[in-house]
Homo-oligomer: A and B are copies of this chain.
Amino acid sequence: MGIVRKTKGVTTILKFFNQKGEATSVVHLIDLLKDKMNKTTVYRILDRLEHDGIIHSFNGKDGLKWYAKSIGCSADQHLDEHPHFQCTKCDKVECLPVEVKIPTIKNHKIDSTNILLLGKCEACSD
């Protein structure tokens, strides 16, 4: 189930994603909010926000779970099919508003993609 009650925690996390704009790992968010709410609560609020299409999740390098704000999604329509970029130096992640063409694979029905590009971000390039 998605968000039903607008609790203090929900408001806090919503504000975070609206202000910050950037993607965040769950680990980082838990640490950031450790004085305000329990980690279980963070996980559960993120679940509900994703269910409602307000944020979307993906796996960064090392398999860590990340979240970022969604645009144009709802509980019915999750159309966040975009690749992500992660810097191997500073670990920052960006949602990439581009389309990656996936070749058709014989005898395989592809439902979704999970594309992570690794490299150096602008700030970390030398």
Contact = CB atoms under 8 A, between A and B. Distances in A.
Nearest to A126: B109
A31 B83 CA distance: 33
Interface residues of A, number: 34
A113 B96 CA distance: 14
A111 interface: yes
A100 B98 contact: no
Interface of A: 59, 61-65, 83, 85, 88, 96, 98-103, 105, 107-122, 125
A97 to B, nearest CB: 10
A85 B64 contact: no
Contact of A121 (B102, B108, B115): B108
Contacts of A107: 121-122, 125
A85 B105 contact: yes
